[in-house]
Structure 1
Amino acid sequence: MLGSVLLSASRSPRLRQAVTSVPATRTLVERFVAGEQRADAVRTASALVARGLRVTVDHLGEDTTDLATAAAVRTAYLDALASFADAGIAKDVEVSVKLSAVGQALAQDGEAVSLENARAICEAAATVGTTVTFDMEDHTTVDRTLAVVHALRPDFPWVGCVLQTMLRRTEADCRDLSGVGSRVRLVKGAYKEPESVAFQAKADVDRSYVRCLETLMAGQGYPMVASHDPRLVAIAATLAERHGRGRDDYEFQMLYGVRPDEQRRLADDGYRVRVYLPYGTDWYGYFMRRLAERPANVAFLLRALASRG
């Protein structure tokens, strides 16, 4: 119940203003976000790479409603990719992009604008020797996001996308995206979705995750197992072995600030581990979704709000 309330709050402008104006909130935000500037992302990513981890960097932002902002987000990604190359970490650091941040949600020509910006980011990634994964947002964007991925793959066969196992359609999407070269990040999902399109019970979402894992591990693509659940991590490793995959044939992904000891343990055991590292000033929506996943942190936030002034 609390998780659903927090997911609704992630889209509340009034609560956004209240939370982002409280300096004490930043202490908690820093657990999950590298910082607000590109230099923060480069510094944190470099430290993670030095510890044997890979990274995917997300420039925070979504629901862009004007061309100028979409162009600014594209530029932020191009500059970030150049900075990763300058720091000598580009081969271990890719980027994650929300298409709504680069224009998909624009009232006019949103599809064309987002595809153009996505293509520019992919070209920059190819230049520095890394990859791009397109994040999935709520269920209304799935078809449009997959259309962009399919449009880009002829030129950038390494383009990755995210699939959410809470959605009832995802097993079929996994089958469609299990071919040669396909990169799929499998997540449970962090959006509040209606029962008509999404499983509501955690157990059903978990069972869907395992079924989707089976499809991806049996396929010819590159599964990216995004989960902090020890049981699902163990199941993924078992399925990979059952289907003859070596430890270079898939990877685990976890969020920055969540189970860092487990990230290092898996990396030390020879698994590929990638950390999802967000940065930027527009951290509110991402932060609230992390709270929804871990409501124990809400007490800290409430204390911070109560101490304003």
Structure 2
Amino acid sequence: MKAPTVLANPLRPAILAAARSSRVKRAVTGAPVTRKLVDRFIAGESREAVLSSVREILDSGRSVSIDFLGEDTRDAAGAQATVDEYLALVADLGALPEAAEGKSGVRRLEVSMKLSALGQALAGDGRRVATDNARTICAAAEAAGVWVTVDAEDHATTDSTLAIVRELRRDYPWLGAVVQSYLRRTEDDCRALAGPGSRVRLCKGAYREPESVAFQDRAAVDASYQRCLRILMDGSGYPMVASHDPAVIDAVAPLVGRTGRAADAYEHQ
């Protein structure tokens, strides 16, 4: 497989734009070439279609994480609609037999959520709105045997997002966080997040960022990923290695051997 560029998924900006605009959605999904690419990253356009993909993946022995596409919600009604969709999805996942298995250990079912889709950018107290909405989803997920991970977005939201994760972890210590190796700050964030039981998904990054906050060279992003991976593997948390890069995948086994990590103390994504 070709090594990813700085934009680990070059199609992601188009997919996210399609989630916000019906016109862009028609353009991205209508052309045969882009439709084929979109199908690699979108499990379905309805919960029914997604659940069919989920069943296929689970039957292969793998675990599942689902993200409801959409971000930059601009009104409370849109944020609530996103919450409602997640609650319905969590209920559907909770009805699967794998949900009951996950209540006593590593969970094979997970949803990922973007705080901007839950109201983080709303005027006034958007942070509180997003926190409350995320808490509602976490409560439902815990009861259903489903994990939740808070996704990373552009660098301007990082401080707010990690603060919300820290607040929610007081009640839901299993809540996952996502960090992006192309941001210059991420090594420090990994050190802060590498505590006992802390679930951390490490990815390369998918937003266009200025040089002042992000590495622009692919080699620098890759080197940062390796440094961050070592920090997480040396810590006492639960690293989630989110990369298709063969160099990253090959680096995991030696780190696991050196640190003595058990097979259920980390995962590839």
Asked if TM exceeds 0.5, the reply is yes
Instruction: Please state whether the residue corresponding to 2:97 is helix, strand or coil.
Output: coil
Q: Which amino acid aligns with 1:94?
A: E
Instruction: Please state whether the residue corresponding to 1:133 is helix, strand or coil.
Output: strand
Q: Give the 5 Å matches for 1:116-135.
A: 116-135=132-151
- What's the counterpart of residue 185 of structure 2? 169
Aligned length: 253
Decide which of 252, 255, 258 is 1:239's aligned counterpart.
255
Is 2:44 aligned against 1:28? no
- C-alpha separation in 2, matches of 1:17 and 1:82: 27
Decide which of 46, 50, 54 is 1:45's aligned counterpart.
54
TM-score by length of 1: 0.77
Instruction: Please state whether the residue corresponding to 1:162 is helix, strand or coil.
Output: strand
Instruction: Please state whether the residue corresponding to 1:249 is helix, strand or coil.
Output: coil
Report the CA distance between 1:2 and its aligned residue. Answer: 11
Structure with the bigger RCO (C-alpha within 8 Å, sep 6+) is 1
- C-alpha separation in 2, matches of 1:129 and 1:18: 36
Instruction: Please state whether the residue corresponding to 1:223 is helix, strand or coil.
Output: strand
- What's the counterpart of residue 117 of structure 2? 101
Report the CA distance between 1:130 and its aligned residue. Answer: 2.0
Change (3 A) 1:3 1:85: closer
Q: Which amino acid aligns with 2:266?
A: Y
Report the CA distance between 1:19 and its aligned residue. Answer: 1.3
Change (3 A) 1:15 1:151: same
Is 2:75 aligned against 1:59? no
The list of structure 1 runs, each at least 4 consecutive aligned residues, that deviate by more than 3 angstroms after superposition, is 1-15, 23-28
- What's the counterpart of residue 81 of structure 1? 90
Report the CA distance between 1:88 and its aligned residue. Answer: 2.3
- C-alpha separation in 2, matches of 1:145 and 1:75: 21
- C-alpha separation in 1, matches of 2:36 and 2:51: 20
Instruction: Please state whether the residue corresponding to 1:227 is helix, strand or coil.
Output: coil
Report the CA distance between 1:214 and its aligned residue. Answer: 0.7
Report the CA distance between 1:11 and its aligned residue. Answer: 5.2
- C-alpha separation in 2, matches of 1:48 and 1:172: 34
- C-alpha separation in 1, matches of 2:113 and 2:97: 21
Instruction: Please state whether the residue corresponding to 2:58 is helix, strand or coil.
Output: helix
Gaps of 5+ in 1: 254-309
Change (3 A) 1:15 1:93: same
Q: Which amino acid aligns with 1:32?
A: F
Is 2:226 aligned against 1:210? yes
Gaps of 5+ in 2: 103-107
Decide which of 134, 137, 156 is 2:172's aligned counterpart.
156
Is the 2:6–2:217 Cα contact (8 Å) retained in structure 1? no
Is the 2:194–2:231 Cα contact (8 Å) retained in structure 1? yes
Change (3 A) 1:116 1:204: same
Q: Give the 5 Å matches for 1:225-304.
A: 225-253=241-269
Report the CA distance between 1:51 and its aligned residue. Answer: 0.3
- C-alpha separation in 2, matches of 1:75 and 1:84: 14
Q: Which amino acid aligns with 1:22?
A: G
Is the 1:42–1:87 Cα contact (8 Å) retained in structure 2? no
Q: Which amino acid aligns with 2:253?
A: A
Is the 1:70–1:102 Cα contact (8 Å) retained in structure 2? yes
Is the 1:102–1:118 Cα contact (8 Å) retained in structure 2? yes
- After superposition, the C-alpha distances for 1:23-47 in whole angstroms (9 at most, x for unaligned) are 6443432222111101111111111
Change (3 A) 1:150 1:231: same
Report the CA distance between 1:237 and its aligned residue. Answer: 1.8
Is the 2:169–2:175 Cα contact (8 Å) retained in structure 1? yes
Q: Which amino acid aligns with 2:30?
A: V
- What's the counterpart of residue 16 of structure 1? 24
**Taking every aligned residue pair, what percent have the same amino acid on both sides?**
51
